Amino acid sequence: MSFAKPVLLVGGATALSRLLGFGRDALIAATLGSGFVADAFFVAFRLPNLFRRVLGEGALNPAFVPVYQRLRADKGEEAARLFSRRAVSGAGMFLVVLAMCGDLAAPGLVLFLAPGFSDDPLKFALAVRCARLAFPFLAFAVLASLMTSALNAERRFAGAALAPVIVNVILVGVLIVLRLTDATEPDRARLLASCVGLSGLGQVAWLLISLRRSPTGLPLVRPRWSQELRSLCLLALPGIAASGATQMAVVAATEVASTLPGAVSWLYYADRLYQLPLGFVAVAMGTVLLPQIAHCVRARNPSGEAMVVNRACELALLVTFPAALGLLILAGPIVSVLFEHGLFLPHDTQETAKAARWLALALPGAALAKIFAQPFFARERPALPLLAAVAVVLITLLIGYLLRARLGAAGVAIAIAIAASAQAASLGSLLYVRGIFARDRALLRRAAAILGAGLLMAGALEGAMPLAAPLMTASHIFVARLAGLLALCTAGAALFGTVVLALGAVDPGMILRLSRSKTASATLGPEAPINGVEPDKRRIELGHG
C-alpha cells in the first residue's frame, strides 16, 4: 500500500506520544489523585487538550490539503508553497490576539465545560486560574496544526508526527520535579497548568525547524489576503468540528459528568486508555489518508479512491478491534497498574475501569468514522461530516444525561460508544449511497478473519485472567505488576497476529516490501511515483484484492 509506510510512521510516532502521555497521566494521578484539585485541573486542561488532540489528528488537513492540491495543480509548486507560508504567518499574528483573550474568557469556558462547578466556589476558582495559565497552549496548538498541515501537504510526515512527543516530554519532566517537592496540591496544579503553555511553545519551535528543512521553508512572509486563504478559513471551522467529533463527545461527556464527584477524573483516565489505539488510527488516517484521496479526486480516479478507503478500513479494524476486546477484558488490571498509586485509590480504579470498558466499544466506530469523513473533505464538502459531528455531541448529551444518575461515569461512557457507532454508520452509508465507497471482497474476507482472530484472543485472555489478575494487584511491587500486564498483553497480541496471518487478513509480502523499501513514503514529493507507478498514469496500486 502506498500509504502504509507513512501510516505506520505517523501511527508509531503517535503511539510514542500516547505512551508518554500514559506516563504523564500516571504521574498526575499520583500527584493530584481524583479529588476536587484534580477535577479542577482536568477541566482547565480539557480545552487546550481538546485542541491538542483534535488538531494533532490533522483537523486542519481537510481545509488545507485540498486547497493546496488545487492551487498546486492550477498554478504550480511555488504558488502553493507561497500560500502555505502566508497561511502560517497570518495564523501566527491572529493567534497572539487569541491567547490574550483567554484571560477574559476563562470563567465562561469553565462554566461551559463543567456547569456543575458553579456550586463549589473553591473548585471553580482553581479551575479558572488553571485555565488562564494553560490557555496559551490553545493558540500554540492551532499554529502547530497549521504548520503540520503545511508539512503534510508536502508529504513530509516525520517531523510533524514527532511534534506532540515534545509536549509530553516537557510535561513528564515537570511532573517528576513536582513529585520531588512538598508543594500543596493546588500549587502543583497551578504550576503544571503554567507548563502546559510552555510545552506548546516547544512544539512550535520543533515544527519551525522541520519547516526550515522542507521545500516550503520558514513562513517569513507578509500575510496577504487571497481567495485561497478565504477558502481555507471557510473550510477550517467545519473541518475542525467534523474531524474532532470524537473529542467533542468527550467534552460533552465531561459536561454531563461535572455534577458527580470524581467522575470528571475517572472519565479522563478512561479516555486516556481509549485514545491510545484510536490515536494510532485517527492521527495516521487524518494525516496520511487525505492527501492520497485528494490525489485520486483530482485525478478523477474513483477506483483508486475506493481501494484506498477499503485498505484503510482493514488497517483500522486490524488495530481497533483487538484493542477494544483487550481493553474490555483487561480494563481493571490496566487501570490498577497504570494509575493506582499515591492519591489514586482502589475505588477510583473500579470506577475508571467501568468507564473504560464501555469506551472500548466505541473504538472501531470512531476509527471508521474518521476514514469515512476523508472523501468528503477531499471534495471540499465538509457539511455532512459536520452534521454527523453535531449529532455525535447531541447523542452523547442526551444518552449521558439519561444514564448518569443510574450508572455514573460508566453511563456517560456508554453514550460516547453509541454516538461513535452512529457516526460511522451514517457516514459509511452516505458514501455507499453516493457510489464513493463500495466494499470489495478482500475487505469482507479480511474483516471476517480479524473478527475470528479477535474473538479467539479474547477467549484466551479471559481464560488467563483468573491466574494473572492476582499478580497485578496493588499488593505487589510496581515493576512486577507492570511486567505481568505487559506479558499478558504481549501474549494476546502475539496470538492475534499469528491467527490473522494464518487466515490471510494481512499480506506478508506487503510487510516484507515495506521493511525492504529504501525510499520512505513519508518523504515522497507531490509528484513522486507511488509504488513505482508514475502520476500521469493516474493509478494507485494498493495490495491485493
Residue-wise pLDDT for 170-202, tens only, equals: 888 888 888 888 888 888 888 888 888 788 888
Give me the phi and psi of 345, to 5 degrees please.
-100, 170
Q: Write the pLDDT tens digit of every residue in 290-341.
A: 677 877 877 788 888 888 888 888 888 888 999 999 999 998 888 888 887 7
Amino acid in position 421: S
Among 382, 405, 387, 364, smallest CA distance to 259 is for 405
Output the average pLDDT for the chain: 77
- Give the pLDDT confidence of 333-389 residue by residue, as tens digits: 888 888 877 777 788 888 889 889 998 998 998 888 888 888 888 787 777 888 888
The answer on pLDDT for 510 being more than 60 is no
Exposed, middle or buried, 434 (CB in 10 Å: 0-12/13-18/19+)? exposed
Question: What three-state secondary structure class fits 300?
Answer: coil
Query: What does the block give as the cell for 50?
Result: 481538546
Q: How wide is the angle at C-alpha 532 spanned by C-alphas 527 and 533, nearest 5°?
A: 65
What is the longest distance spanned by two Cα atoms in the chain?
Answer: 66
Helices and strands (H, E) in the chain, number of each type: 20, 0
Secondary structure element (H or E) that encloses residue 103, with its range: helix 77-113
Task: Evaluate whether 65 touches 291 at the Cβ level (below 8 Å).
Answer: yes
pLDDT at residue 527 is higher than 50:
no
C-alpha–C-alpha distance, residues 11 and 319, integer Å: 11
Instruction: Find where cell 492551487 sits.
Output: 71
Model-wide pTM > 0.85: no
Give the 3-state DSSP-derived string for 471-483, with helices as H, strands as E and coil as C: HHCCCCCHHHHHH
The Cα-based distances of 127 to 53, 108, 344, 393 in angstroms read: 20, 11, 20, 23
| 317/367 Cα distance (integer angstroms) | 8
> What is the C-alpha radius of gyration for the chain, rounded to an integer number of angstroms?
23
Q: Is the pLDDT of residue 522 over 50?
A: no
Query: In the structure, what pLDDT confidence band is assigned to residue 526 with cuts at 50, 70 and 90?
Result: very low
Cell 468514522 appears where? 369
Three-state secondary structure call for residue 296 = helix
Output the pLDDT for position 408. 79
Contact status, residue 51 vs residue 142, Cβ threshold 8 Å: yes
Percent share of the chain, pLDDT over 70: 77
- Residue given cell 498509586 in the structure block: 341
Give the C-alpha separation, 450 to 321, whole Å.
Answer: 8
